[in-house]
Amino acid sequence: MAQLWGGRFEGEINELAWKFNASIYFDKRLIKQDVQGSKAHVTMLAKQGIISEEEADSIRNGLDEILKDVQEGKLEITDKYEDIHSFLEANLIDRIGDAGKKMHTGRSRNDQVALDMRLYIREEVKSTAEALYDILDTLNKIMKDNLHTYMPGFTHLQKAQPVTLAHHLGAYFEMFYRDAHRLMDVFTRLNFCPLGSGALAGTTYPLDREYTAELLNFTGPTANSMDSVSDRDYLIEFLSSLSIIMMHLSRFSEEVIIWNSNEYNFVTIDDAYSTGSSIMPQKKNPDIAELVRGKTGRVYGALNSLLVTMKGIPLAYDKDMQEDKEVSFDAIDTVKSCLVLFTDMLRTMKFNKEQMEKSAIRGFTDATDAADYLVNKGVPFRDAHGIIGRIVLHCLEKECGISDLSIEELKEFAPQFEEDIYDAISLKTCVEKRLTVGAPGPKAMEKAVARNEKRLNAYWTGMDSFKTE
């Protein structure tokens, strides 16, 4: 058992307790960040004259060799080590001797792991932002191609008013664009370096924390050493942002599942993102969309788990905080895989435009415009609302739409109806005359698509805080 403590202990730790306490099973994922942070730390130690330049060179070279051997499969990370920190230090000492024992000078595992997680999450925030860019780009391309694809808009899952596919998908563009900016906010707050905080009270060594932060491309050092080692706010914020992303993906998945049903038949999902039934040969199931919807609860669980873990912890570091990693790693992996798969599914999905338009026509989505028509003819809105309601009841009995009624039939309900009613309540008219900002009219949507293209072109420019290299 390789560990970084034990001098004051006379007996060996219980084997089961060792395994229960150890984090090597999951924090081995942080090896690259641990090497990165350790190299910056010894560079600073040499600059401050705490260790020699030769010792710093030996440590840095040794760490690079260990990382290379692990990545190439020449060196295995085993459970004889308590954590990734002890693995690296033990192997470094084996390779370079006493110089390796100086790597930990002026540092605690508390500020070391706090640094590793910030470095790791910093990369994952950027990686998630890249996945969001892909879905935003895909959405805007589909919007551009479907400015005149009519479909019913819904409230309460009931057909309400006609919109376009571009308008409907534009709502999801806005959601995911807000998600991207939430990530930028998370990045801004997490990008401070805790290294040099020690166990909780700093150190008597003359460390240059500003220099270490600069070497690691942080905005600066954290301001309070106790907060530095016990803070997981940035991780809670990131998990919260991931949960909102999954909520948006889940809502979208729910719509894809409904649209894919035989009753709607709005979309055809590519075979690459569907599965069949073991007993019913006719089935083609939207399993990817269903799994994205299902995995949302898994990410919510990670957020709730960390909130519950942190709520009762006194300052400063406590071992409970070790529970931050497994749930976070799982949530991050889950969200990124969901974003990639959903984007690919969306990119290959076929939209059944004729079926969408027929559904809008059959669903009385023109009723509001019919009422507005009467208002423009001098009928008070409340009276017009009642007249159109009675016409809808009549159409339900006849199993037809408003536009299927003759002008004579319409005049029985209101004498103000003229032949121009049919043009006034056509899907084209209903959609095209809605031109205010955010509305589904093609001119309004052309502006929205152009605005989205500008947003995408400036995506990384507007997120300069993501630049860490």
Confidence of residue 23 (pLDDT cuts 50, 70, 90): confident
Structure tokens at 405: 């009624």
Question: Residues 198, 204, 208, CA angle at the centre, nearest 5°?
Answer: 75
Q: Which of 108, 148, 156, 167 is catalytic?
A: 156
The predicted model gives 431-448 an average pLDDT of: 94
For the segment 119-147, the average pLDDT, to the nearest whole number, is 97
CA dist., res. 393 & res. 370, Å (int): 14
Q: What local confidence, expressed as pLDDT, does residue 384 receive?
A: 96
Tens of pLDDT, residue by residue over 184-212, are: 999 999 999 999 999 999 999 999 999 99
Q: Which residues contact 60 (CB under 8 A, 6 or more apart)?
A: 39, 42, 43
- 277 a catalytic residue: yes
* Residue 14 confidence (pLDDT) above 90: no
Residue among 179, 298, 293 nearest 237 (CA): 179
The token pair that represents 377 in the structure block: 């003819």
Q: What is the dihedral of CA 189, 44, 100, 122, to 10 degrees?
A: 20
Residue 156 a catalytic site member: yes
SS3 per-residue string spanning 13-24: CCHHHHHHHCCH
Mean pLDDT on 151-178: 96
Residue 10 pLDDT exceeds 60? no
Provide the 10 A C-beta neighbour count for residue 154: 16
Determine the pLDDT at residue 436: 92
pLDDT digits (tens, 9 = 90+) for 374-421: 999 999 999 999 999 999 999 999 999 899 999 999 999 999 999 999
Contact 206, 199 (CB under 8 A): no
The pLDDT of residue 249 is above 80: yes
Q: What is the pLDDT of residues 379-391, one digit of tens each?
A: 999 999 999 999 9
Listed in sequence order, the residues at least 6 apart from 139 whose beta carbon sits closer than 8 Å to its beta carbon are 169, 170, 172, 173, 176, 346
Q: Which pLDDT tens digit goes with each residue over 256-299?
A: 999 999 999 999 999 999 877 677 777 788 999 999 999 999 99
Active-site pick, 225, 230, 274, 277? 277
If pLDDT is split at 50, 70 and 90, which confidence band does 78 have?
A: very high
The Cβ of residue 400 has, within 10 Å, a number of other Cβ atoms equal to 13
**Cβ neighbour number for residue 181 with a 10 Å cutoff:** 14
> How many CB atoms neighbour CB 356 within 10 A?
24
Q: What is the DSSP letter of 163?
A: E
Q: What is the pLDDT of residues 326-366, one digit of tens each?
A: 999 999 999 999 999 999 999 999 999 999 999 998 888 89
Residue 7 pLDDT level (bands cut at 50, 70, 90):
low
Contact present, 260 and 286 (Cβ < 8 Å): yes
